[in-house]
C-alpha cells in the first residue's frame, strides 16, 4: 500500500459516520477518491429512497479525501462549503461517490463530486456536488 493510500485509509477508518453507514473506500488516487455504499432500509427516507443526507455525507467525504490526496504532508482538510444537486431518486443496488480535485490551491481546494447509482449494468448519476475544502493543521 502506498503512503497516499495509507494516509487516506487511516483517516477514513477513524470516521465513525462512514463505519455507521457501511461505506467502503474503494479507490484512492492522486486527486480522486471513490467510496461505495450499499443500500439498507435503515438508510432510507419515507419513500424508500436512500436518504439525501446519507449520500451527501458520503460524497462530502469523497471530495474531502480527494482534496487530502493533494494536501501537503502534515496538513489535514475540512469542508468549507458545498452545493449538491440531486438529479434522480436514489434507487440502486450500489452507490459510488466519486470525489475529484478540480483545482488545488495553497489554502483551498475545489472539488467536484458525483454519486453514481449502479443497477445491474446500468450506471446513472444520482447527485452532483461542488465542494470547497480547506487545508488545516493536522489533528490527532
Task: Output the pTM of the full model.
Answer: 0.96
Name the residue ranges covered by the structural domains of the chain: 3-137
Handedness of CA 51, 116, 79, 25 (dihedral sign): positive
Handedness of CA 66, 7, 12, 72 (dihedral sign): negative
Pick the CATH number of 3-137 from 3.90.190.20, 3.10.129.10, 3.40.50.1370, 3.40.50.150: 3.10.129.10
Which pLDDT score, from 0 to 100, does residue 139 have? 63
Q: Give tens-digit pLDDT for 100-112.
A: 999 999 999 999 9
Distance between alpha carbon 123 and the CA centroid of its chain, in Å?
Answer: 18
Amino acid at each position: 500500500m502506498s503512503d497516499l493510500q495509507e494516509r487516506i485509509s487511516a483517516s477514513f477508518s477513524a470516521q465513525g459516520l462512514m463505519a455507521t453507514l457501511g461505506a467502503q473506500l474503494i479507490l484512492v488516487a492522486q486527486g480522486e477518491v471513490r467510496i461505495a455504499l450499499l443500500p439498507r432500509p435503515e438508510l432510507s427516507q419515507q419513500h424508500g429512497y436512500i436518504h439525501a443526507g446519507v449520500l451527501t455525507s458520503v460524497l462530502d467525504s469523497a471530495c474531502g479525501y480527494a482534496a487530502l490526496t493533494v494536501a501537503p504532508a502534515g496538513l489535514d482538510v475540512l469542508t468549507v462549503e458545498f452545493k449538491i444537486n440531486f438529479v434522480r431518486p436514489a434507487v440502486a443496488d450500489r452507490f459510488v461517490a466519486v470525489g475529484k480535485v478540480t483545482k488545488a490551491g495553497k489554502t483551498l481546494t475545489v472539488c467536484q463530486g458525483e454519486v453514481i447509482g449502479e443497477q445491474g449494468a446500468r450506471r446513472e448519476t444520482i447527485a452532483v456536488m461542488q465542494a470547497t475544502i480547506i487545508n488545516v493543521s493536522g489533528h490527532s
